[in-house]
Structure 1
């Protein structure tokens, strides 16, 4: 079982990954139609 600190680290890594994915899509969205949903840090589509 993961310790609470490990879970916090995992959540932080996931949030950073989602943020980078959003930034990457934003930087390339001018060359494609924006049909892919962008996910917030809680995993829900905006």
Structure 2
């Protein structure tokens, strides 16, 4: 069984991975207007 603290850690790591992916995508795409959707840590598009 996974402890609550472990779940919090996993959630934080997942959010950090999503943030890094979004930043990388922004750097690659720059100011292009036809960007793919960017997702936040809850899976919603921004």
TM over 0.5: yes
Q: Which runs of 5+ in 2 are unaligned?
A: none
- 1:1-46 Cα offsets, whole Å, 9 max, x none, are 2100000000000000000000000001138641x21001111122
- TM-score (normalised: structure 2): 0.82
Runs of 4+ in 1 over 6 A off after TM superposition: none
CA RMSD of aligned residues (A): 1.6
- TM-score (normalised: structure 1): 0.82
CA distance in 1: counterparts of 2:31 and 2:44, whole angstroms? 25
Match of 1:10 in 2: 10
Q: Which structure carries more helix by proportion?
A: 1
